[in-house]
């Protein structure tokens, strides 16, 4: 029997979930557009472990939108003030101190 994944609705919940494993976790978009927090290092069988889902219209999702918009606009002030970075892969968000986080908007 499958266990239901936690649903993240707030910025605080999202940041806490990412910070629990800051150098392994990120937000990714699955097929169909569902965003989730996942361990980005695949397991031995190549499967990515999903930790939690992100509610579609909640505060946590709004943070992802702001990170995406600041990145695409090249707005260094807004981008540097946000705790998340959009990239390095399409539809991926990482904590600012993640080793793979972009060094500047649009990277």
Question: pLDDT tens digits, residue range 50-97?
Answer: 999 999 889 999 999 999 999 999 989 999 999 999 988 888 999 999
Query: What is the Cα–Cα distance from 19 to 38, expressed in whole angstroms?
Result: 12
Instruction: Quote the CA–CA distance of 99 and 53 in Å, as a whole number.
Output: 23
Contact present, 71 and 79 (Cβ < 8 Å): yes
Which residues, listed in sequence order, are joined to residue 29 by a DSSP beta bridge?
35
Token pair of 57, please?
A: 């219209």
Structural tokens at position 21 = 């494993």
Contact assessment for residue 106 and residue 72, using Cβ atoms and an 8 Å cutoff: yes
- Indicate the pTM of the whole model: 0.89
Q: Over the stretch 21-49, which tens digit does the pLDDT of each residue have?
A: 999 999 998 888 889 999 988 666 767 78
- Extract the tokens encoding 39: 């361990």
């Amino acid at each position: 029997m499958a266990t239901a994944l936690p649903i993240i609705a707030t910025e605080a919940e999202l940041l806490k979930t990412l910070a629990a494993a800051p150098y392994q976790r990120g937000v990714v978009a699955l097929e169909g557009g569902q965003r989730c927090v996942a361990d980005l290092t695949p397991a031995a069988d190549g499967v990515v472990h999903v930790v939690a889902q992100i509610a579609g219209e909640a505060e946590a999702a709004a943070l992802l939108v702001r990170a995406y918009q600041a990145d695409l606009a090249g707005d260094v002030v807004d981008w540097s003030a946000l705790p998340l970075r959009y990239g390095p892969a399409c539809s991926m968000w990482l904590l600012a101190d993640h080793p793979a986080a972009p060094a500047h908007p649009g990277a």
